[in-house]
Amino acid sequence: MNRKVMTGELERLAGQPFPLPEELQAGFMSTAMQKPDRPVKLACRQYWKLYGAAAQRKFRDAGELRELVDSGRAVGALQDVDLEIGEGEIFVVMGLSGSGKSTLLRCLARLIEPSFGEVLLDGRPLIGLPAAELMKVRRHEIGMVFQNFALLPHLSVVDNIALPLRIRHDDPASIRENVAEVIQLVGLSGMEARLPAQLSGGQQQRVGLARALAVKPGLLFLDEPFSALDPLIRRELQDELVRLQARLKKTMVFVTHDFSEAVRLGDRIAIMKDGRVRQIGAPEEIVTAPADDYVRNFAAGIDLTRVVSCARIATQPTRSEYAVKVPADRRIAEAAEEVARAGGPVGLVDSQGRLVGELDAAAILRLVSGGLYGGGEGAGR
């Protein structure tokens, strides 16, 4: 894995209330821009999008764009973004309103033109592709789900889902088959003939999801798809997406401004601010090794036990045998009951069954009550 060690971060952690056993430290070597651990599906390099009259031209190098933004003559909605999104991962883009999330998603999906830079799908450049070719890519390889569902009000569930397939002239038999399959997949059976107005918000968004999946895209773009839903339904659809993903293994780019949603869904999360990416990492990395205060603030108030692994709050083993052993990479919430029942410290083991640390109930309580940094400045407030 292409990881650069941020030694400062490790030194800082070493002085904290949870000293990491040496064997575990390697797992926490972090970098502000973590690479995917699998083949790259979608990548962008030096990606820029400027808004404003001065930005309506071709640029020869990134320095020209930087100058326009720095001098206030253009809005830098995307500034020098480099990303690699792995095959089959849910890649979450997260940030405050106006940070550039939708702009990034639309530029990646080629719904809008970037001002500068390149984007590669399966290694193939999408910039400069003839319009007809690009259309083909968009219709066959990309699915989109939007916040406001974007359903046509006069079309039934079936016809809304079939629409993109009809537009690309699939044959009627394959359309019927495809639509029936995705309706079942997203749990809309029995509602085929209803109009959008006859569905709840959650059901409407299931239609939106089914319509995107019907295309059988390798790549799915979702821009705040659950933001308009109330919390319970939202949670239900998040679980549904995780369940679907386990089965379909699509590559997804998922935009949200809700950090708990990002943590629940993301294999990796990119945190954006002012058009730039501040950090890319797995949820646990973002929470335990935030690149700056902006990132750190998002983690405040979330349930750390669902994000942080046992390894992160482990201490050195004090014995050679433990009656109860738990995988070190298990989330604390999932191990807590076993630890409570053990009546003493449990051993933590790596994937080969080797003892790498020790965890007791007191450490879990300390995390819950004081956060990762012992109740002072940090993620657990």
User: Is residue 61 within 8 Å of 46, Cβ to Cβ?
Assistant: no
CA distance 144 to 223: 8
Q: In this complex, which beta carbon is closest to ligand ATP, that of residue 86 or of residue 95? A: 95
Q: Tokens in use for 50?
A: 């400027």
Instruction: Tell me which of 71, 97, 320, 352 binds ligand ATP, using CB under 6 A.
Output: 97
| Contact window for ligand ATP (CB under 6 A) among 95-103, 229-237, 281-289, 363-371 | 95-103
Question: Binding partner of residue 98 among ligand ATP, Mg ion, none, CB under 5 to 8 Å per kind?
Answer: ligand ATP
Q: In this complex, which beta carbon is closest to ligand ATP, that of residue 266 or of residue 371? A: 266
Q: Tokens in use for 293?
A: 């205060």
CA distance 103 to 307: 28
Q: In this complex, which beta carbon is closest to Mg ion, that of residue 25 or of residue 227? A: 227
Q: How far is the CB of 103 from Mg ion (least distance, A)?
A: 8
Instruction: Tell me which of 29, 51, 64, 361 binds ligand ATP, using CB under 6 A.
Output: 51
Nearest alpha carbon to residue 188 among 177, 202, 172: 202
Q: Tokens in use for 281?
A: 């990492």
| Contact window for ligand ATP (CB under 6 A) among 3-11, 13-21, 62-70, 96-104 | 96-104
Instruction: Tell me which of 31, 34, 79, 103 binds ligand ATP, using CB under 6 A.
Output: 103
| Contact window for ligand ATP (CB under 6 A) among 26-34, 97-105, 119-127, 259-267 | 97-105
Q: Which residue has the tokens 């501040």?
A: 278
Site string for ligand ATP, 54-83 (x = CB under 6 A): ---------------------x-x------
Q: What strand order describes the sheet that includes 325-327? A: 325-327, 346-349, 355-359
Instruction: Tell me which of 101, 138, 211, 296 binds ligand ATP, using CB under 6 A.
Output: 101
Q: Which residues pair with 127 in a beta bridge?
A: none
Half-sphere exposure of 329 (CA within 13 A, CB side): 9
Q: What single string gives the DSSP state of each residue in 84-100?
A: EEETT-EEEEEESTTSS
Q: How far is the CB of 290 from Mg ion (least distance, A)?
A: 23
Q: What is the dihedral of CA 350, 356, 361, 363, to 10 degrees?
A: -110
Q: How far is the CB of 98 from Mg ion (least distance, A)?
A: 8
How far, in Å, are 37, 90, 96, 298 from residue 255 at the CA level?
A: 21, 10, 11, 15
Give the three-state DSSP class for 129: coil
Instruction: Tell me which of 30, 31, 34, 99 binds ligand ATP, using CB under 6 A.
Output: 99
The string over 62-82, giving b where at least 16 C-beta atoms fall within 10 Å of a residue's C-beta and e elsewhere, is: bebbeebbeeeebbbbbbbbe
Q: Decide if residue 95 touches ligand ATP (CB under 6 A).
A: yes
Site string for ligand ATP, 104-143 (x = CB under 6 A): ----------------------------------------
| Contact window for ligand ATP (CB under 6 A) among 91-99, 231-239, 309-317, 357-365 | 91-99
Q: Decide if residue 103 touches Mg ion (CB under 5 A).
A: no
Q: Decide if residue 294 touches ligand ATP (CB under 6 A).
A: no
Instruction: Tell me which of 30, 102, 115, 205 binds Mg ion, using CB under 5 A.
Output: 102
The string over 115-141, giving b where at least 16 C-beta atoms fall within 10 Å of a residue's C-beta and e elsewhere, is: bbbebbbeeeebeeeeeeeeeebbbee
Question: Binding partner of residue 99 among ligand ATP, Mg ion, none, CB under 5 to 8 Å per kind?
Answer: ligand ATP
Interacting residues with ligand ATP (CB under 6 A): 51, 75, 77, 95, 97-103, 257
Interacting residues with Mg ion (CB under 5 A): 102
